[in-house]
Amino acid sequence: MASRWLTCLCLVICFISNPETARAWGFMAHRYINESAVYLLPQPLLGYMLQYKDELRDRAVAADQRRAWDPQEAARHFIDLDHWGDSVFYCMPMNWGDAIRCYHEDSLREHGVLPWHTVTVYRRLVNAFVRGDAESVCRHAADLGHYLADAHVPLHLCSNYNGQFTGQHGIHALLESRIPEYFIDQMLLPFKRPRWIPDVRLSIWDIIRESSAPLASVFDCERRCRTTLPIPWQFSPIQQGSRLVRKESKEFVQCYDQCLGGLMGQRLSASIHNVASWWWSAWIEAGQPKGVTRMDKRTFGQKEKGLSIPVSEIEEIQVDTITSLRVLNQQSKECDER
């Protein structure tokens, strides 16, 4: 038994220490999105969620960490739109039950179940609000924020997610991790107040449609910067823990970001807005409960224990003011001081 747990621990450590294995935003970006979304919420939900902003931030990467021991988790983070053809937005069923009747379930899993699973997690959040279970609210809200954030990234929506088919290996981390790591503090991100979403099934596909539109530019701009900048300027040694690793230089990442026209800043802003909107909509659909049982932070997260729900059990679902990043950060400080 001890050796089994040691093996699992080693797998988790290897996964966390190697972000290239994950088709996801960098850990920093996921945490930033969840925490920022809290401050967009209107009262009284803002006051409630502020109690747990640390948990929502820390648990923002739990879905990625589960991939180390849950074989079904990876498929929940992407969908290969190119596999289904140009008519995917018109022909693909929005309900999971209809989808597995039209297509082989193994094929759906192989090419990603992100839109259906995101709606399922939303449903769990609604039920958690109805039950008044604060731990479940935090767990499902954090996971929902993660999957929604993934849906805003173009490379989560195609089979060439890491440039492996076009000789651009590593483009995934370049787009999703390097740009935020270097420039997130310089981004003036416009944020809109959350909106009520009457049908989350339509919303997730709208998000995916919008996010997949710039896919061609994501690959073209990387090629352009490779030919524009001399090779010695494209990479530099970066301190990562106790090691020096070779990664794209700040000059190259800046070239890529400028070529994309600030795309990742736009995707980051849209992620935060939609995460807040889905949280708020779940609370409204739950009947706008005024109070939720406060959880004991000492036992937070102990109920999950790495359990997973099979993809086959995904449920079939039948529901402006602009603020700058600096203002949002100031609000965060003021709320902490209170």
Using the Cα atoms of residue 290, residue 294, residue 300 and residue 305 in order, give the sign of their dihedral.
negative
pLDDT at 266: 94
pLDDT at 213: 97
Give 187's pLDDT tier (boundaries 50, 70, 90).
confident
Q: Is 308 helix (H, G, I), strand (E, B) or coil?
A: coil
pLDDT at 290: 79
Summarize the confidence of residues 243-259 as an average pLDDT.
Answer: 93
Q: Are 77 and 63 in contact (CB under 8 A)?
A: yes
| Per-residue DSSP letter, 192 | P
pLDDT at 189: 77
pTM of the predicted structure, to 2 decimals: 0.81
Backbone angles phi and psi of 240, in degrees to 5: -130, 100
pLDDT at 4: 36
Place of tokens 């929502």: 56
pLDDT at 121: 98
Mind listing the pLDDT tens digit for each residue in 47-62?
999 999 999 999 999 9
Percent of the chain topping pLDDT 70: 78
Q: Buried b vs exposed e over 169-190: b needs ≥16 C-beta within 10 Å?
A: eebbbbbbbbbbbbbbeebebe
Which has the higher per-residue pLDDT, 248 or 6? Answer: 248
Give 86's pLDDT tier (boundaries 50, 70, 90).
confident
Percent of the chain topping pLDDT 90: 68
| Domain ranges for the chain | 22-168+188-212+264-318
Distances in whole angstroms, Cα of residue 145 to Cα of each of 59, 160, 187, 279, 280: 10, 24, 20, 8, 12
Q: Is the pLDDT of residue 330 over 90?
A: no
Which has the higher per-residue pLDDT, 270 or 336? Answer: 270
Structurally, at CATH architecture level, domain 22-168+188-212+264-318 sits in Orthogonal Bundle (1.10)
pLDDT at 24: 54
Q: Is the pLDDT of residue 311 over 90?
A: no
Q: Is the pLDDT of residue 312 over 90?
A: no
Instruction: Compute the mean pLDDT over every residue in the chain, rounded to the nearest whole number.
Output: 82
Mind listing the pLDDT tens digit for each residue in 16-43?
334 333 445 678 899 999 999 999 999 9
Mind listing the pLDDT tens digit for each residue in 101-149?
999 999 999 999 999 999 999 999 999 999 999 999 999 999 999 999 9
